[in-house]
Chain A
Amino acid sequence: MNSILKTTELPYCKGCGHDLIAKKSAQALENLGLSPLDVIVVTDIGCHGIIDKCLNTHTVHGLHGRSVALGAGISFGIENPDKKVLVFIGDGGSTIGLQHIMEAARLNLNMTVVVHNNMLYGMTGGQTSGLTPRGFCTTTSFEGNPFAGYDICELTHTAGAAYSSRIMGVGDITDELVEAFSVKGFALTEVMEICPSYGVKLNPRRKLSEILESSGKKTGVWKNERKAFVLEQGKKSYDLLEELKGVEKDFPEVLASDLSLVISGSAGEGIQSAATLLASAAMRSGCHVTQKGSYPVTVGVGFSTAEVNLSPEPINFHGIGVPDIAIITSADGLAHSKKRIEGMKKGKLFIDESLETPSTGAEVIKRDFRSAGARSACMYAVIYFAKSTGIVDTESIYKTIEESGLAEKMPLSKIKEKIGSLN
């Protein structure tokens, strides 16, 4: 079973260029000394795609226009460079799957694509494709396509393909295909054809060479001197659990019951990191914790809110409606959490002194949190909360900050000084 084709009786209409492409592709592969099982032919939906059953190669028959992406996935997974990934696709498939072709060309993946360009969708009734030339008649543009077609070779060449070529699908094209199939890297050959069922009938007396010429395109070869993409072996892999720092219980337990906190400020002002440091510090006293962030999709502007639960027991549900504690360090944060603060019937609100106090049943504690600087206001407020309530040991927070390496990024001694004067 050394021949690529099982049969020379191919399932194509009389005069169809697909027949020529299939036979000459098989010949080209054989001329290159490839055995059928060295070759993976990827096809998709369209007349070109019914070739599978006639091949002795591996065959993969996928979705309309996706064969280049599917072939790319196979190319990524192949470690033996002598294996050949050969993709057959039509002009319709090239239209819907243009992004896949561009991507494979950009990455210069080791694969060859043969575009069967008969200038219309043959299988579905002769409709106009993105590669149909201007003026060419189809069943959906019977007065001639008003739009110019893509120049697929120019596109792949510009995207970085090692090899792009356009040939006429007439006569013996074996040598041209051998040249394309020999390329290491991404090679695309566009073979020009006229569909005998629709193209010939709708465009009587027009010759393929004249159609190509009138579209402003030429046959030819366009090359980029590039090495084929090779998958980097031995990529470093990090164990995601081993790299996590374990938290030892090195402070006494202080928390007697569940406590929920909402910490709100402005994006970029360290809200989430302050919340994480608080949660980590609480773990050192044996607390169970949860911490999550909430912010607009644009992460650099607007509010940033963190929700923290502390509990002496394991926590299942971590949602917080009305919190026990609210810590607010900016106008953005206040606006985002105002409703919750107004819903507080008890608990404590720690709020920067520059902000207007909302109506709330919580005890209000106003301080100059922003005096620590915008980026450290929240950290200061969190430490202040810890100190004034005794719920989390401030020493455990300091130790956590120092171990995290964040101490140098905040005016910790200034914050300590302010906290130290509290009693």
Chain B
Amino acid sequence: MSARLLVQTLRNPTSLPADCDWTGLIAAARAEQLVGSLAFRLEGRKVPERVERLLAMHRADAGRVRVQALWEAEMARRALAPIGIPVVLLKGTAFHAAGLEAAQGRNVGDLDILVPRDSLGEVERALIAHGWERMKEADGYDDLYYRQWMHELPPLIHRERDRMADVHHTILPLTARPKPDAAALIAASIALPDGLRMLSPEDMIVHAAAHLIADGDMAGGLRNLWDIDRLLREFSRVDGFWPRLRERAGRHGLGPAVERAVRLAHDLYATPIPPSWRRWSAMDAPFKRRLLARNGWGQPTRPVTRFGFYVRGHLMRMPPMMLVRHLVTKARAKPDQSVSSTPISSE
């Protein structure tokens, strides 16, 4: 089980087995989007020369990832500055912009930002005026679905830089049971030197936990949990962090999700946590099994566990009748995805 080897190595890079399956470790790390973090964890350790060449390549590439992520944020800042609303960076981009330890080797795909819900239209228009485009024509079921039920606009892509932007107005889909207080997220956000903002430390953990536990099928879970480990280690150095985190999680209706994420981080990555957070829960075991479902070829394993989490991911985001409607619509749309059943009106 190479996910286990990956977790062990990230947790304790001195504990490498003598007959380490390097190819398997690296394949699992790439599949879990953790190869940059792994490369930094193993920096300066004694590893075979060919492996060192690979790890050095991934460390160097992390610099490029950082430049690209910060540039997308800066271009969005320039586009949105005239509107004069708070723009909060989320996830990896925020880690890099704030120079957090979690940023080390952290891959960033899309630009994720959070803006007030009543500015969504204005934000979308400003981004489109600055070269971002809708991925698909704005009609049909998917677009309607996004606008009615999701916590973000349909994704935008920049026509020259080919990078995606996700504009969120809250951190969980509107159909999910917990209802995070989006206004409070923005109110407590912290200004970065260039005028962009990031979530408060406690809200950043709440968001990461929401993403890991309460949203979706746990794809990319090991990386999300690694984020949580790094963030907790850094933020908990400030007095009073843990009670504030509990209070904040409760306020967003995400107390159980945050507690589970903290326990899993402690269990897998040995994150130091206070005794009051170490409650035992029978349901942690399947989460852990799902997180470790990856072999040394980089292949997903444990299909039954995965499918369980896939269904769960959908149930958590949607009430059951909506789920049925969604799955049926998706299944029907499949044969000719490229052709829309309704004529496309280009305003």
A and B bind: no
B-binding residues in A (CB < 8 A): none
